[in-house]
Amino acid sequence: MAGKKVGVLAVQGDVSEHVRAFLDALGGEGEVVEVRSAADLAGCDAFAIPGGESTTIARLIGENGLREAIRSFTGGIFATCAGMVIVAATINDTRFLPLGIVDITVERNAFGRQKDSFEADLAVLGLEAPFHAVFIRAPVAAAAGPGVEVLARIPQGIVAVRQGKHMALSFHPELSGDLRLHRLFLAGL
């Protein structure tokens, strides 16, 4: 993890929480930058797409000329909540085209409205103890392709996956105070 540079998409969503979590996970041995343009992404080893509102994030990715830069990014991508929707191959919404980076089929807002948000302790592959997950208007993956490793699931669907250097989570690990998933992601770069 030493010397890694992590970019955090800073167009909408819980940007500051991701910046803080990655700074803490890097333990002072790396750099975290906010990404608003393709030039900001240059030189990054990893890139986080935070939670927020997926249609807004998708629109702003396009308006800021980031779509192709993200699709061709060779580092690892850490996508949470709305980020999971953005990186999916297929989604249950026709308002925007996902990036197709992770071979999953995602259902937006799978648990309903904001009032249906919840927290749960999850068994996550690669972690010894349960992870306390915060689900806020969360998506779920209804299906994962053959190259996708399912890290966690709940009765409603798949909530954490890894494909190569990429990790997509339907919940908000940056809100838990637990850095194990950030560290697991960084270790896989």
pLDDT per residue as tens digits for the range 115-153: 778 999 999 999 999 999 999 989 999 999 999 999 999
- Catalytic residue, chosen from 18, 81, 107, 182, is 81
Query: Considering the chain, what percentage of its residues have pLDDT values greater than 70?
Result: 99
- Computed on alpha carbons and rounded to an integer, the radius of gyration of the chain in Å comes to 15
**Cβ atoms of 159 and 121 closer than 8 Å:** no
Task: Summarize the confidence of residues 94-123 as an average pLDDT.
Answer: 90
State both tokens at 180: 């194990």
Indicate if 31 belongs to the active site: no
Length of the chain: 189
Helical spans, DSSP H, in the chain:
15-26, 38-41, 54-63, 67-71, 82-87, 180-187
CATH class of domain segment(s) 5-188: alpha beta
Share of the chain above pLDDT 90, in %: 90
Q: Which of 107, 166, 174, 182 is catalytic?
A: 174
Catalytic annotation present for 44: no
Q: Is 126 annotated as a binding residue?
A: no
Hey, what are 8's tokens?
Answer: 């955090």
Q: What is the pTM of this model?
A: 0.96
- 31 annotated ligand binder: no
Is 81 in the active site?
yes
